Structure 1
Amino acid sequence: MNEPVGGPQQAPLRTADVARESGYSVQQVRDLERLGVIPPATRSSNGYRSYAPPHVNALRAYRGLAGAVGPVVARQLLAELRTATITEAASAINEVHVRLAREREEALRAQQALHAIRAEADTPEWEQDSERDSDAMTITELSRALGVRPSTLRFWEQEGLVTPERVTSLRARRYDLPAIRTARIVTALRSAGYGVPAVREIVASLRQLDGAEEAQRVLRERLDRIALRTVGLLHAGADLAAVVTAAAAQEPAAVRSVPAPVSAEEPGRPSPNSRTGTASSL
């Protein structure tokens, strides 16, 4: 884990110094300053930029955040951390950890659903019917369980990814256990960045060996990426703390709300790169 840079009496840093300490190029430091990742550098009488250790801490914190939640959200979060109270800042950082834990749980449940689908072929039909009746969900219940909007489930139905039953005279949607399991797998695949055509192909072949193996491979990769993002966030911990404490040392800021995480739901979900961009992305 990186140590916070320097102390209050350290001499001003040049752009090249900041680049070396943060692991970015000189041009990237300038670009990230322009994007608001770090506060504007002071300018000397001859126009040269002059930085301080908090700039380095902010850049290194951004590297870990960008790997964990994507560059767009990382920029928004760092801007908020510089003006938030200690309580608000701690809550915002904790939310990133919670989000990663939620994504990991989602992928693990999708793995369990995949194993259940594979085992279902060996289950007597009457037992399957009993399970379906006892564990069925409405569209509202399933959307809450998956953390998606009902409109997302309707979109998936339209695209042939998850097919509910229609019951009652109002033709209400009812998701039996196989549909719930498929929905969990679709949720994980879509969160991993797979497009609708690719997900449709995997779902269509889930009960075949090749389809199940492909889904299992995707879910393993999803869990590995979440683990790497979590480690990146841990590496950013000391620098995030330095950013927060530096902000707290300034004049008290007006209380304001930290923006909610960018939604990953359909329709109109953002590109996967906007959520999971690497540290090299600006």
Structure 2
Amino acid sequence: MRPIDLAREHGLSAQAVRNYEDAGILPPTERSETGYRRYTPRHAQALRAFLALRRGHRHQQAMEIMRATNQGDTESAYRLIDAAHVALLAERETRTESATALGGLSTTTPRPVNGRPLTVGELARRLGVHPATLRAWETVGILCPERDRATGYREYGPDCVRDAEIARQLRRGGYPLRQVAQFVESLREAGGADALRAFLDSWQDRLTTRSRDLLAGAAQLDAYLILLDQP
């Protein structure tokens, strides 16, 4: 087969196929007498495996899996695959924990200690974070503390405590500060419950899609390994 024969199946260019070979994603090819590359069903399946793996593992890790496989280092390939599943399980558990914690927070505003606003140190200890983290969250708009008129110190009332606890959960789920800030802002505007449900539903959909993508990639890689085992 020619590069264009592999490329057409996936809507790629022939040059992209050659680039994948040069990157080690495809196994080495033989050359014709005129110097043209000759691809086989193994190369075609390797390309299918890489493109399927890329959906669940992203480009760099999918490339590392294919390189290890083509070098006969299946142990390293399996470790990369296992690590992705471990990370996904951790995120799934975090989402479940967040659903429980945030579900309560959406209807119940946490009360500060002794009914008074918390200081930055008190809130940091409550969340198990560094005070600098709270100041960073304030910079991007996640927290909007009041200031004591006499001292100028930050004061974190019930709404700030709620937003800080939500931010802690989302950060544990791996979400960037910008996205956390957007969610907290939408939560404020929507009043909490509807925005919260939509956010958690979207998170669950993303986890489900990733799980299916990992399964699809594993199936294509398994088909490639079967071809490699054939004489």
- Note the C-alpha offset of 1:44: 0.6
Higher helix share: 2
Q: Which residue among 159, 170, 185 is the counterpart of 2:170?
A: 185
1:221 equivalent in structure 2: 202
- CA deviations on 1:48-91 (whole Å, 9 max, x unpaired) are 22112221222111122211122222222321232253433322
Structure 1: gaps of 5 or more residues: 1-12, 141-149, 165-175, 251-282
- CA deviations on 1:129-185 (whole Å, 9 max, x unpaired) are 9xx99x945338xxxxxxxxx997774465453699xxxxxxxxxxx9843443113
Indicate the SS of the match to 2:187.
Answer: coil
What count of residue pairs does the alignment treat as equivalent? Answer: 209
2:38 counterpart of 1:50: yes
Contact 2:56 2:210 in 1 (8 A): yes
2:71 counterpart of 1:78: no
Same amino acid, percent of matched pairs:
28
CA RMSD of aligned residues (A): 4.1
Alpha-carbon distance in structure 2 between the residues aligned to 1:47 and 1:214 = 60
- 1:1-282 aligned at under 5 Å gives the runs 13-20=1-8, 22-27=9-14, 28-83=16-71, 85-121=73-109, 136-139=126-129, 155-156=136-137, 158-161=139-142, 178=162, 179-188=164-173, 190=175, 196=178, 199-204=180-185, 206-207=187-188, 209-210=190-191, 212-244=193-225
Contact 2:68 2:74 in 1 (8 A): no
Contact 2:54 2:217 in 1 (8 A): no
- State the TM-score, normalizing by the size of structure 1: 0.57
In structure 2, the CA distance between the partners of 1:152 and 1:204, relative to structure 1 (3 Å rule), is same
In structure 2, the CA distance between the partners of 1:38 and 1:90, relative to structure 1 (3 Å rule), is same
Alpha-carbon distance in structure 2 between the residues aligned to 1:153 and 1:75 = 38
- Segments of 4+ in structure 1 off by > 6 A? 123-129, 150-154, 246-250
Structure 2: gaps of 5 or more residues: 117-121, 146-159
In structure 2, the CA distance between the partners of 1:245 and 1:128, relative to structure 1 (3 Å rule), is farther
> Which has the greater radius of gyration?
2
In structure 2, the CA distance between the partners of 1:152 and 1:104, relative to structure 1 (3 Å rule), is farther
Contact 2:25 2:66 in 1 (8 A): yes
Question: What amino acid does structure 2 have at the position aligned with 1:229?
Answer: R
Alpha-carbon distance in structure 2 between the residues aligned to 1:248 and 1:162 = 57
Indicate the SS of the match to 2:199.
Answer: helix
- State the TM-score, normalizing by the size of structure 2: 0.68
Contact 1:65 1:236 in 2 (8 A): yes
Q: Which has the higher contact order (CA 8 A, sep 6+)?
A: 1
In structure 2, the CA distance between the partners of 1:77 and 1:156, relative to structure 1 (3 Å rule), is farther
Contact 1:66 1:74 in 2 (8 A): yes
In structure 2, the CA distance between the partners of 1:63 and 1:183, relative to structure 1 (3 Å rule), is same
Alpha-carbon distance in structure 2 between the residues aligned to 1:72 and 1:238 = 19
Contact 1:65 1:74 in 2 (8 A): yes
Indicate the SS of the match to 1:228.
Answer: helix
